[in-house]
Structure formats: structure tokens, C-alpha cells
A and B are shown apart, each in its own frame.
Chain A
Amino acid sequence: MNSRTHFRLVVLYVLVGALLLVLMGRLWTMQVLQGAHYRQVAADNRTRDIVVPAVRGMILDDTGRPLVRNRTALVVSVDRTTLMRQKDHGAAVLARLAKVLGTDVGTLRNRVRLCGPSVPRPCWPGSPYQPIPVDDHVDDRRALQIVERQEDFPGVTAQMQAVREYPRPSGAGAAQVIGYLQPITQAELDRKKDLKVTGYAGADLIGRDGLEASYDEELRGTPGERTVLVDSQGRVTGTAKEKPPVPGGNLVTSINSQIQASAEKAIKDAVESARSQGRKADAASAVVMDVTNGHIAALASYPTYDPSIWTGGISQQQYDALLGKKEGQPLISRAIQGQYAPGSTFKISSVAAAVNDGYDLNGTYPCPGSYKVGSRAFTNFEGEEHGNMNLHQALVVSCDTIFYKFAYEQWLRDGGTHPKKHPSDPMVAMARHYGFGSKTGVDLPSEVAGRIPDRSWKRAYWNATKKADCKGAKQGYPEIAKTDPTRAAYLKAIAAENCAQGYAWRAGDAANLSVGQGDVLATPLQVARAFAAVANGGKLVVPRVGTAIVQPDGSRVQKIGAPPAPKLPVSPKVLAYIRSGLAGVVKSGTAAGAFSGFDDKKVQVAGKTGTAEVYGKDDTSWFASFAPVKNPRFVVVVMVSQGGQGAQAAAPAVRRIWESMYGLNGNKPALKDGKLPEALPKPADDGAGTAP
């Protein structure tokens, strides 16, 4: 062996030694010096935190029957993120899935696309990172095919899950009261940091309307957490830690299914009968409320819909139908979102305003066919002349001219066209005390306030509209003049008047307000509350649908209270006088026809008809009532938009609701001893009790 070879072998010795030393050093660093760090990383690597969804609480009626419950369903869902990672963006997977589910692939593809401004439904309105439920009516066999052939269905899962179900006890739908659920949007997730996403398809829903929205937090429950051990494929090999979910509380409501059902049926029939008489009757609403505490026993709105269409993806057609004008916008709850001129039902406020302003409660006043307010003549309904009468009679026959007189005289006292610095406007002030023009504070979302027009409102409105009015005053309405020159001339005159002095609180405005006409708007619930205040001796109760949140195991009951009710500034004597007048309406007045043959031995009803004229439309038909007259317990209000006279459309519907409540005319009584159940019901365990 020569020396060069020998030398190079020595170099090789050194080189190999060096390499081994490098390995040793690295091994020492990683295992001894950084061992703790890698152990932590390894622990994170092997566990996954899973959020276990909590079962959403049921919504129960006053006897514990569920209006909304859960059913356990096998839900097939698709994870967009996994799908998009496929080479073909999941086209093949969706095609296979469509085959198994028996749908066409186009529908499926639409279901999993993200909603956007230009994307029609069906589409996914929730967060793109949540699994998207595509079918919640899968049988075991199909679900098994998907679960067992995961390699063919990456990102597709089938899980047992609770989905909403609407059992319609006694036929009560209450769709607008219950509201509906929708997937949580990304924006909501970003806003509500405490909102935990479970990652379960269809479990990450949020109440969007009705009770589901206003009691969302209570119904939602608290999701649990489970830390599971997983292998490299993500397969669960065991559970490390578990904090079980806390199911959502059940919401007990004061809705009485039987009364709700009869109210729904009554307004539906009222609409149909009004239509058969040539009225448009485009919407209707009924409110039944306990006058003592504001508990709502029924809140019906027509047109209505079946809330189960929200479950498992809604089609564009269904969605359009819910919002469409043609279909009557059934999503809108007319009881709290419909604003209509209240007509003569408003007189319960005007009488009190007049008496408080100094008019004699027992005085006699003329009721001519028409009354001159300034230069314009304001007439009674159909120009009827009644001679002299007291206020009682004025309510019974629904005389308008008496109220015009009060309003005009008050307007004059406030300075007329040159108002005082601080005009008293007694009618406006009293209407506000009756709760008109502001929200009732009911525990339902999206309530509207209605409107009591007053001086400041007039000015604001004028500022907003004068530009258009002045233009109309100048140029007239040539488009309309082509077909209807009379109307065009009328519009031009109005425009000229509005342009010049639209800001002014005119005598006509005061007169219109006194009979609930003109710019006055009220919701049926506001009218019901005002009548409840008259019936209960002056307490302006805050309406409530929810009465308590009860934990499913009965462990905790949380009563739902209401803010204290303000008092009407009206003396008991005046209220009693109004009540007797309203009793006369049913006995011998405008509603006597509708209540002829009503069994008033069992229960005596008092009420007020309202026929509100709406320019260019059929009259709004109102009937607001309470009973029993001696010791009032409930108010029942029905409103039929474009239904005609109050006595014709609304009053018969109210009568039928009373009959159902008290078991008259062959009905099974909904009330026990004339009352709703006071004790909280024990809910039957017929919700889906187990979490997936």
C-alpha cells in the first residue's frame, strides 16, 4: 500500500467520524435539548378538538305541546374545502353523490355554491368553512354507502343530527311567531366571537326571525368539547377529554295552540269571504292577548307559510314566494310589522283625550252628517246623520263628526294656522300614552313603531317631499292626465298645497288623527295593547310571547319577565265609561250584526269596529274587542287589509275566535275557567333528545 492511498484512507476515517459526530450532535439537540418542545408538538399532532353541538331547545305552547321540536335525521353534508382540493373541484364526487342520493348533479352543485349578489338560490348562505347539508332525509342504506366508501366521497359525511320539525299542534302554525333558522354567516361569526362553530353540518344555525331569533341564545345551548386522539389519517382512536354539551333550554310560550289555530283559521276565512264579496283582502292578522299581563295567546298573520321549507336548503322558487309581492310576502308578520290606519278603533284614545281636555264625559254633542273643518267638510261614514248624542252613543254608532269637532276646536285653541309656541295637541299626546307611534316592546324581532303624525313629523316629511311636490305643483301630472284628467288635477292641487304649506299642522290633520285616519298608522298588536289598557284599568302592558326558559331536565326554570307597564293618564271613571260604550257596540251598535246570536250569557264581549279608508285601496277592516265585559281577561283584535268594513270582515272573525276560546257554538273550549294555564307545563320529551 503506497503512502497516498494510506493518507487518503486516514482522511476517510476522519470524514466518516465527522459525519457520525454530526448525527450524534443533531440527535442530542433534538432529543435532549428540544425534547420537551417536540413532545408538546407531538401531543398537538395527535389530538383534535371537536366541538359537540348542543341540541337546540324546543318551543312549546302554554300546555307544553311543542310548536317546534327536533327530529333525529341522518344528514348528508359536503365540505367545500375538501371538495375544492380535488383536481376537478369535486365534480366527480358530486356526480357520484347525486347518484346515491337520487338527485341530479346540477341541483347538488347549486346547493354547495356560495351565495352572492348574482347567485340565485339554492345556494349556501353560511360560512364557506362549514360543511353544507345537502340532504336530511337519507335512509340508513344510502348513508352507509357514503360512509363506507369514503375514498369515493372525500369531504362527504353522513351524521346523525337533530333537525327542526314543526308538529302543528291542533293545526297551529304560528310560522311568523316561531321564525326560522339559517346558517351562520361568516360576517356573524366574525362579529360574535363567542359563537362557537361546531363544524357539524346544519348545526351551526342561528335564529333569523321570530322567537328563534329573539331567544336564540337561550335556545342554542352551549356546545361541548371533546378532545380525541387521532392517527395520521384523522381516524379517531380514542377520547382524551370530554366536556359534554349543555342542551338549549326549552322556550315555553303563552301561545295556546287551539286559540292560535282558530285565529289562523278565522282570518283565513275572513280573507276568503271578503274576496268573495269583491274585496282585495290582501293580508290579515289576529292578536289574542291576556290583558292582565300581556301574554300573547295567539298571533296570526295571513298569508302564512310552512316553516319546514327552511330546513335543508330552500329553493329559489320557495324563497321568492316568501318575499314576493305577488304571494303577499308571507314572511312578514302583519301583527307586528304591518302598519295600517287604525280607523275608529282609535277613538278609545280620542274620547279620553277630549275628556281630559275638558269636554264633559256626560255631555251631549251634535253628530251631523258632515262637519266643516276650516273650509273643508269632513263627513261621517256614508254621510249618516245621528242628531245629538252622548259619548257612549258616539262610540256605539261610531260617529266621526263629534271627534272632528273636538279636534278642530283643540286645533283652534292651539293657535290654528298661527300655532302657539307650545301647542298642547291633546289627541296626539293621548295617542302616545296609548302606545301608538312607538314599539310595544314585544319579545319578537323587527317590530315596527307605527306612526302618530304630529307637527314635527309633518315638518320632517315636508322637508323630505317638498321637492317632488313643488315640481308636481308646477308641471302637473301630464302622464296621468292622458288617462285620468280629474285625478291629475286633484294630484296637482294636493301637490300645490303640500308644496306651499305642507309643513303646517293643519286643521284637517288634527281631524283625521282624531278618527285614526290620514297619516296615522298602527300595528294590530299596538291596537290590542291599547284595548288591553282600557280593559285592565289603564295598564299599558308590554306584550310577551315567551313565558319561561325551562332546562330540558327540568333543573332550572327561568321566568321571562316584562318591563313594568306604564299607566294611562286616564281616570278609572273614564275608562269604565269607554268600556260600557264598547259593550254597547257589540250589543246594539256597529258590531251587533256580526255578534247576533252570540251567547252573551256565557261571555259578554265589548269592542270597536274600524273602517279605515286608504287612498286608492279597499278599506282596512278592524275589530278590536275584549271580554268578559265585567272582568276583562283577554283582548282579541282582527285586522283585514283591504277587507272592507270592520263589521263585515273583521268582526265575524273576532266572534269565531271568542267562540273557540270559550267553547261556544259547538267548539271545545280552549280556556279553563276562562283562563289560560298559569303553571308552567312539563314538556313531554318528544324532542330529539340525543346529540349526534
Chain B
Amino acid sequence: MTARTTPLGGYRDRDVARWRRRASALRRLDWTMLLSVSALSVLGALLVRSATHRLLLEQGQDPNSFLDRHLLNLAIGIALCGLFTVLDYRLVRAYVPILFAVACLGLLAVLTPLGSTVNGSHSWIIIGGGFQVQPSEFAKVGLVVLLAMILGEPRDGEVGPGRRDILMALALAGVPAALIMLQPDLGTTLVFAAVVLGMLAVSGARKRWMAGLVGGGLAAGFCVWFFGLLKQYQIDRFTAFMDPHVDPLGAGYNAQQARIAVGSGGVTGRGLFHGQQTGGHFVPEQQTDFIFTVAGEELGFIGGALIVVLLGVILWRGLRTASQAADLFGTLVATGVVCWLAFQSFENIGMTLGIMPITGLPLPFVSYGGSATFANFIALGLLQAVHLRRRTFD
């Protein structure tokens, strides 16, 4: 508080003003949300270690190598978050077409020989040196800002976006969605659907648009099912979801093992790093898509509920940011991010609990995985940016 007690010259005054702005900007950040994300990230890091260290030890590798990678990812993510917080999101808006184009090119590249298949999904580009990128994660960010730009176009007197804007938004969103369906990545496609639906609704589009979209989606789903456009493993996953006992060693295996792991955790869990299902590697992909099973088994209901609550706080703060945004663009960006994270969290936890079919989606801020972590933290940065520049009533 030296600035107040010691008056300074004009040059210094400007300095102080900037410092003040920064100090107040720091204070204006949504700390509740940031603390929740931090808590989730710390939990996530511990769970990633628990899911991997024993297998790594058995294989004679450094038991912390996954943890180290994850911490590095987090560090990069935090830096990206900071960058997108500091950037005026309205400036980002000017670069949306470029961002979106880059995301689509990335998705396109996956389908060329550059792409590679992991776990049945052709979603990756191997960069080399052990690094790989999953463009569909970044496409989620691209989709959110693209839709916010089109649907958040300033308009005079209209309550919702016009037909032209909506059609253009759908057409452009269709490009990455189609590319992702070709991989095929059902989970991300569903995230896209949730984001489109949520942002259209909040943008004020007429109900019939949403109804039409939902109806069209269901019809498309039926067509895909009946014309056999799904891969066998997707059909298997779906039937296994409907009845996990159909094939307990095949498609139903993941679902069954995940539920056993979570259920056996009980109220207090078996203790961090002491999960027996986890230790025996019964659940596949446990550090990424099935990380919630580690929490469920080792931390029990207390740990699992904590994760749900922390996610709830983030989503609540995100919706609050949407309603307090300075402009419609900000509202829509926040809405898009919330829809994305909400659907992805529900699907991810739901599939480990046996109430959703199994798809390959990571749990935001918890799962291991570079691209997903980066995309999540960019989304967090966008939320903070909108929050930082919210309407103030004082």
C-alpha cells in the first residue's frame, strides 16, 4: 500500500495505475473456480500415479513416469490458461476463423496417413519423441468460439439469432463433427451435439430449432444403427451397456470391471494407492477414460462425491460467468464451455457407474492426457477471461 502513502510523479502515477489494474484484475479472477480446478488437478495427479505406478514397476520402468508427464502437461495447461485469461476474449474473436480452420485441418490430418489408431479410435497424430496430439480435443475449443462468434453477432431488436446465422453455425459445426465421426469418435461427437444444443438454446434460438435438431439427431442415430454404419466394437459396447452380463470377458468386460472397482470402494475406499482392482489392472485405460474407477475404489464414496462436487462448483461458476458476461459473445463462450465440460463429466463418470454407454472421453481436469488437459485449461482460461471482463454493477 505504499502507493497511497507516497505520492509519486506523473510517470510513476501511470505505473501505479497499471499495477492497480493488475491487482484488481487478479482479485477479479474467479478464485472459487480456480481453487476447484486446482483441487481436481491435484487429485487427478494422485490418481494417475495410483493407476500407473504398479504396472510401471512390474515392467521395470520408473513408477513415476506417468505422473511426471502429467505434471508437465498440467504446467503447460496452466500456462495456456494464463495466456487465454490475459488475452481479451474479444480479441480472440477476431482470430476465430483462423483457430477454427487450424482445428479442422488437424482433424483432416488425422484421417491422412499422419494419423494413428489408439484403442479403436483413429484420433491421434504422432509427433514423435513420445508426443502425440489429439486434434478433436482442440476442435472442442474451436467449436465453442466459432458458435459464440456466429450466434453472438450483435443484432438489433431480435431476441434470438436469425435463420441465416443458425444455418451457417450448423453448417460450419458440421465440418469438424463429420471429420470426428469418420475417426470414429462417438464420444466427442456427442460432446459436439451437447455444445451446439446448449449454445443455440442460450443464444435465444427458437424452440423449433432445438426440437428439430434433437429430432434430426435421433433420426440420424436410427439410420446409423439400421444401415450398419457403426463399427462392431461400438455395437458391442452398446449391447454391453444394455446388459453387461452378455459378454463379461469381451465388450462388457470394461463396464463390469469398472463397476466392480467403484462399487468395492464402499464409503471410505481402500486407501490411496491401495486399490486391489486397480493394482491388478482389471480396468483398462485406467489413467485416462476410467480414472474415476481409481477414485471410486481407493477413495470411496467420499472421494467420488468430492470429485462430483468440485466439478459441480466449476460448472456453477461457469454458468454464473455466462450470466454475468459483458456481452452475448462472452455469455455464449461460457455456456459452450459449461455444456462441453458438463456433458463430458456426466458421460465419463456415468459410464464407470454403468448408467451411460462406454465411449472414449476423459474426465476433465482429472484424467491423464496432454491434448485433453491443454484444451480443458484453455477452456478454463476463456471462462476466466469472460469472468474478468464481466459486467460490474458498482
Q: Which residues of A contact B245 (CB under 8 A)?
A: none
Bound CA span A414–B349, Å: 99
Contact B204 A4 (CB under 8 A): yes
Partner of A39, one of B264, B284, B323: B264
**Considering the complex, which residues of chain A in the window 1-30 have a beta carbon less than 8 Å from any beta carbon of chain B?**
1-2, 4-6, 8-9, 11-13, 16-17, 19-20, 22-24, 26-28, 30
**Is B296's beta carbon under 8 Å from chain A?**
yes
With A9-B335, A31-B296, A41-B260 as known contacts, state yes or no: A19 contacts B346, CB within 8 Å.
yes
Contact present for A27 and B266 (CB under 8 Å): no
Residues on A with beta carbons closer than 8 Å to the beta carbon of B316? 13, 16
CB atoms of A2 and B204 under 8 A apart: yes
- The reply to whether A32 and B342 contact each other, CB–CB distance below 8 Å, is no
Q: Given A12-B319, A23-B350, A24-B305, are A42 and B204 neighbors across the interface (CB < 8 Å)?
A: no
| Chain A 521-536 residues near chain B, CB threshold 8 A | none
Cβ–Cβ < 8 Å partners of B335 in chain A = 9, 12
Q: How many residue-residue contacts, CB under 8 A, span A and B? A: 135
Cβ-based interface call for B201 (8 A): yes
A46 interface residue, CB < 8 Å from B? Answer: yes
Interface pair A32/B301, CB less than 8 Å apart? yes
Q: Shortest distance in angstroms between A88's beta carbon and chain B's nearest beta carbon?
A: 19
Q: Does B92 contact A (CB under 8 A)?
A: no
In the complex, the answer to whether A27 meets B264 with C-beta atoms within 8 Å is no
Chain A positions 651-677 with a Cβ under 8 Å from a chain B Cβ: none
Q: What is the distance, in angstroms, from B313's C-beta to the closest C-beta of chain A?
A: 10
Docked complex Cα distance between A32 and B264 (Å) = 9
One of B67-75, B116-124, B275-283 contacting the partner = B275-283
Q: Which residues of B contact A22 (CB under 8 A)?
A: 346, 350, 355
Contacts of B204 in A (CB 8 A): 2, 4-5, 8
B272 in the interface (beta carbon within 8 A): no
Within 8 A of A (CB), among B194-223: 198, 201-204
Q: Choose from A9, A11, A19 the contact partner of B322 (Cβ within 8 Å).
A: A9
CB neighbours (8 Å) of B378 from chain A are none
- A232 on the interface (CB 8 Å rule)? yes
Q: How far is the CA of A4 from the CA of B304 in the complex (A)?
A: 35
The listed residue (A9, A23, A229, A231) touching B281 by CB distance below 8 A is: A231
| Chain B interface extent, by class | 35 or more
Chain B residues near A24: list those with CB within 8 A: 305, 308
The answer on a CB contact under 8 Å between A30 and B331 is: no
Contacting residues of chain A (351-377) with chain B, CB-CB under 8 angstroms: none
Q: Is the CB of B266 within 8 A of A39?
A: yes
Residues of A within 8 A of B257 (CB): 45, 232
Q: B263 near A38 (CB under 8 angstroms)?
A: yes
- Report B257 CB to chain A, min CB distance, Å: 7
B282 touching A232, Cβ below 8 Å: yes
Known contacts A30-B263, A31-B301, A32-B267; decide if A8 and B276 are in contact (CB<8 Å).
no
B159, CB-defined interface residue at 8 Å: yes
Question: Which of B266, B281, B305 is most buried by chain A, counting CB atoms within 10 A of its CB?
Answer: B266
Are B308 and A9 touching (Cβ within 8 A)?
no
B325: chain A residues at CB < 8 Å are 1
The docked-state distance in angstroms from the alpha carbon of A24 to that of B345 is: 12
B338 interface contact, C-beta 8 A: yes
Known interface pairs A5-B328, A30-B353, A31-B301. Does A12 touch B264 (Cβ–Cβ under 8 Å)? no
Q: Are B280 and A237 in contact (CB under 8 A)?
A: yes
Report which of A11, A27, A42, A237 forms a contact with B261, defined as CB distance below 8 A: A42
Distance in Å: Cβ of A190 to nearest Cβ of chain B: 25
The verdict on A30 contacting B262 (CB below 8 Å), with A6-B323, A9-B319, A9-B335 known, is: yes
Q: Are B201 and A8 in touch, CB under 8 angstroms? A: yes
Q: Within B49-106, which residues are at the interface with A (CB < 8 Å)?
A: none
B265: interface (CB < 8 Å):
yes
Task: Please tell me which one of the listed residues A6, A28, A37, A46 contacts residue B276 in the complex, with CB atoms under 8 A apart.
Answer: A46
A35 lies within 8 A of B263 (CB): yes
Q: Which residues of A contact B300 (CB under 8 A)?
A: 31
Q: How far is the CB of A4 from chain B (nearest CB, A)?
A: 4
Tell yes or no: B160 within 8 A of A by CB.
yes
Q: In the assembly, what is the distance between CA of A26 and CA of B201, in Å?
A: 28
Cα(A37)–Cα(B263), bound, Å: 8
Residue of A nearest to B275 (CB): A42
* B201 contacts across to A, CB distance below 8 A: 8, 11-12
In the assembled complex, which residues on chain A have CB atoms less than 8 Å from the CB atom of B284? 232
CB of A72 to closest CB in B, whole Å: 30
- Contact in complex: B301, A13 (CB < 8 Å): no
A230 at the interface (CB under 8 A from B): yes
Whether A9 contacts B349 by the Cβ 8 Å rule is: no
Instruction: Say if the beta carbon of B360 comes within 8 Å of chain A.
Output: no
Given the known interface contacts A4-B204, A8-B202, A233-B281, the answer about A31 and B267 at a Cβ–Cβ threshold of 8 Å is yes
Question: Which 5 pairs across A and B sit closest by C-beta, in order of nearness?
Answer: A38-B263, A42-B264, A231-B280, A35-B266, A31-B301
Q: List 13 A-B contacts (CB under 8 A).
A: A1-B331, A2-B159, A13-B316, A16-B312, A26-B354, A30-B259, A32-B266, A38-B262, A39-B263, A42-B263, A45-B282, A46-B276, A232-B284
Known: A5-B202, A9-B323, A28-B301. 13 other contacts (CB 8 A): A2-B159, A4-B159, A5-B204, A8-B204, A12-B335, A16-B312, A17-B312, A19-B342, A30-B354, A41-B260, A46-B282, A230-B280, A232-B257
Q: Could you tell me which A residues sit within 8 Å of B by CB distance?
A: 1-2, 4-6, 8-9, 11-13, 16-17, 19-20, 22-24, 26-28, 30-32, 34-39, 41-42, 45-46, 229-233, 237
